[in-house]
Amino acid sequence: MKKIISTAIAMLCTIIPATGQQTKTVKLKVIETSDVHGHFFPWDFMEGKPLKGTLTRANTYIEKERNKYGDNLLLIDNGDILQGQPCVYWSNVVMPEDENLAASVINYMRYDAETVGNHDIEPGHKVYDKWIREVRCPLLGANIVKEGTKNGEASPNNIYTGLQPYSVHYKDGVKICVIGMLTPAIPNWLNKSIWKGIEFEEMVSCAKKWIKYIQDHERPDLIFGLFHSGKDGGIATKEYEENATAAVAKEVPGFDIIFFGHDHQVHNEWITNKAGEQVLIIDPSCYVRNVAEAEIELTYENDKLKKKDIKGKIVSVLDEEIDQKMINHFKSKIETVKQYVGQKIGRFEAPVYTRESFFGNSAFSDLIHNLQLQITQADISLTAPLSFNATIKAGDVTMADMFKLYRFENLLFVLRMTGEEVRKHLEYSYDMWTNTMSSPEDHALRLNVNAKEDQQRTGFQYYTFNFDSACGIDYEVDLTKPDGEKVKILRMSNGEPFNEQKWYKVAMNSYRANGGGELLTHGAGIPKDSLDQRVISHTEMDQRHYLTEEIRRMGTINPQPNSNWRFVPEEWTKPALERDRKLLFGQ
């Protein structure tokens, strides 16, 4: 009987041929961090208190996902990791002989790929060249090329030493390529000495050539972008756009997902490219409050990829438990940095608040102005608030307070400017900063309620780090006047006449001196290619270093507003500014 059944089955198999159809499903997860800015550990070294946004919380979430996905998890970071919290400055400047702390953290967390951010270039060659050597995962920069090779062919040999244009990853038989790019606006912010030997290519054209190269040479199943460039907007020149992620997604078919950052905003959306395909673009914002992740399900039939299912998600990690193993691993470093930021520098007899800088003369901004003039012996000082709501209390001033006083590692420059250029520079600043009032009920400040959670605008229409005020001159800002006509310079603060045709020595930070915010170029009307010719001098080390040394030399300071400028007419501006203060900061 068994033999008869077997024979029957065999006959049936010859009548009905087997299809041989083999189906395989692979599930992957990709997790991105971006714009970490030194938020490694659950301690705010500036404020001296616990910190919610931190890689030690993100790593708890990442490890849970590793347990679910195993080797099918790809962990990537999008740059701006070398500047921010004091722990990275300590590593970059105070203890440069040790392995860079940012490299140690990247290696500990087992990142698969890392893109270079603009704040990873700003510390200078000595810091980032060493960091590049120490990071064990691929460091990506397809548009960061050796000088003299800009806009050349897609060749790995043209990429800056130590970087790669893309990385290749294999996950359960799936081949993934990740292309990394950096916003090409670096020359607008940083002095050329900082990026000597490097050029930065426009992103759309760079993406086109590397997509073709990868499709021809690698034939991957998935192509991701990892871009340190915002969605859109920012600086736009004839050569490039600062924030070009949306443009690349639309104009360059081939990407499945673009993970991005730089603009410190949350994004999770689909864009249709010119081939009619859907591309996910996703950005977790900054300071490790969130991670961006993509869940991917690939379906193969007979080893051929037939279907891609991609879902993007922003995940808050603020309530994750702290990874205690990671804390223990870096315990000695954490304690050393705490000792460093606890050093006493001097003493303030009065507190200073960054928030006051938005409403007129403030002790905070004027302290920086006065120190800049003392250090450089310039005629005029320009500065903007680099923090939204920081406080330095009266009493002992520590190294931690110096990071609140001056947040980033800019250099201090002195430029030659005419009086007319100084006025036009200020006009451009106050046009971004303030409204044109047509009645007493209008806003004094140019606000945007939709930008309240934007970490760089914090409720303003424009970036607050471009709100320059001046010291060394007395002036009024008339909010009833149209843009370009608000600023009236009355005199030099020493009583001498102010002359629009006279040349003045003007102190400012390196970001501004190199065209950052376009106040010198679009505002003052100085051609970008002539800014270098205006430089009288600049410091070798970062501005915070010199501010610290000056406060240490002085010992005790009683910071007060200079009262050298004001908003007018005061019967309109004073009540309007109080209303706007409540909108920005509450009661």
d(CA 51, CA 63) in angstroms, rounded, equals 20
Reported as a single tens digit per residue, the pLDDT across 487-523 is: 999 999 999 999 999 999 999 999 999 999 999 999 9
Reported as a single tens digit per residue, the pLDDT across 183-199 is: 999 998 998 889 999 99
* Beta strands at 380-383 and 469-471: parallel, antiparallel or unpaired: antiparallel
Buried b (16+ CB within 10 A) or exposed e, 493-526: beeeebeeeeebbbbbbbbbbbbbbbbbbebbeb
Pick from 523, 528, 463, 539: nearest CA to 185? 528
CATH superfamily for 343-585 is 5'-Nucleotidase, C-terminal domain (3.90.780.10)
Predicted confidence band of residue 148 (pLDDT cuts 50, 70, 90): very high
Phi, psi dihedrals of residue 133, rounded to the nearest 5°: -70, -30
Reply yes or no on whether the pLDDT at 11 is more than 50: no
Judge if 26-337 and 343-585 fold alike in CATH terms: no
Helices (H), 219-260: 245-251
Strand ranges for 64-201 from DSSP E? 73-77, 113-115, 139-140, 144-146, 166-171, 174-182, 198-200
Residue 303's pLDDT is 87
Phi, psi dihedrals of residue 26, rounded to the nearest 5°: -120, 130
ω into residue 165 within 30 of 0, thus cis? no
Residue 13's pLDDT is 38
> For 319-333, what is the mean pLDDT?
98
Reported as a single tens digit per residue, the pLDDT across 208-267 is: 999 999 999 999 999 999 999 999 998 888 899 999 999 999 999 999 999 999 999 999
Residue 455's pLDDT is 66
Predicted confidence band of residue 5 (pLDDT cuts 50, 70, 90): very low
d(CA 174, CA 258) in angstroms, rounded, equals 18
**Domain covering 26-337: architecture:** 4-Layer Sandwich (3.60)
d(CA 418, CA 423) in angstroms, rounded, equals 9
Query: Domain residue spans in the chain?
Result: 26-337, 343-585
Q: Given its phi and psi angles, is residue 356 left (phi above 0), alpha (psi -120 to 50 degrees) or beta?
A: alpha
Predicted confidence band of residue 432 (pLDDT cuts 50, 70, 90): very high
Predicted confidence band of residue 18 (pLDDT cuts 50, 70, 90): very low
- Return the HEC string of 335-404: HHHHHHHCCEEEEECCCEEHHHHHCCCCHHHHHHHHHHHHHHCCCEEEECCCCCCCEECCEEEEHHHHHH
d(CA 368, CA 242) in angstroms, rounded, equals 29
Contact criterion met (CB below 8 Å) for 469 and 417: no
Contact criterion met (CB below 8 Å) for 125 and 194: yes
CA angle 460, 385, 365 (to 5 degrees): 135
> For 435-459, what is the mean pLDDT?
87
Reply yes or no on whether the pLDDT at 14 is more than 50: no
Contact criterion met (CB below 8 Å) for 245 and 227: yes
DSSP 8-class letter at 531: H
Pick from 241, 237, 244: nearest CA to 261? 244
Predicted confidence band of residue 6 (pLDDT cuts 50, 70, 90): very low
